[in-house]
Structure 1
Amino acid sequence: MNQLVANMAGNVWKVVVSEGDQVNSGDDIVILESMKMEIPIAAEAGGSIKELKVNEGDFVNEGDVIAIIE
């Protein structure tokens, strides 16, 4: 089980996947918006999205868990 964490603070602009989706390493999971820039946050390992911890419009801080991949 891997935890995907935010590498910077920002607003969750778009959630690209749903719980249960299969993802590969490098696939975008969410897109953060910070300082008017869109920053994709990608899976670090492949697997299934077990749980999404954020919704579109949420604010996350650096280090917050975005998703659990199993």
Structure 2
Amino acid sequence: MEIKATMAGSVWKIAVAQGESVGEGQDVVILESMKMEIPIPADSPGTVKELKVAEGDFVNEGDVIAVIE
């Protein structure tokens, strides 16, 4: 499953590591946009297969930020 950015912004914090197990609703990445922090949660439980962003990267709405299996 691909986790996608819900809005454009900068990656403020990556809350998980590659290979880490995550639960449904657990924050994967926190974006910063217009001085607001926007958490991006996992849609379902699984293991983080790949992180496609680094802290400080800019993402657009719909960009894939992580892959969870």
**Residue 39 (structure 1) aligned with residue 38 (structure 2):** yes
Distance 1:26 1:43 in 2: 5
CA RMSD between the two structures: 0.3
Percent of aligned positions with the same letter in both sequences? 65
Distance 1:25 1:64 in 2: 20
Q: Runs of 4+ in structure 1 displaced over 4 angstroms?
A: none
Which 5+ residue runs of structure 1 have no aligned equivalent? none
Distance 2:26 2:47 in 1: 12
Which 5+ residue runs of structure 2 have no aligned equivalent? none
1:36 positional shift: 0.2
2:16 is matched with 17
Paired residue total: 69
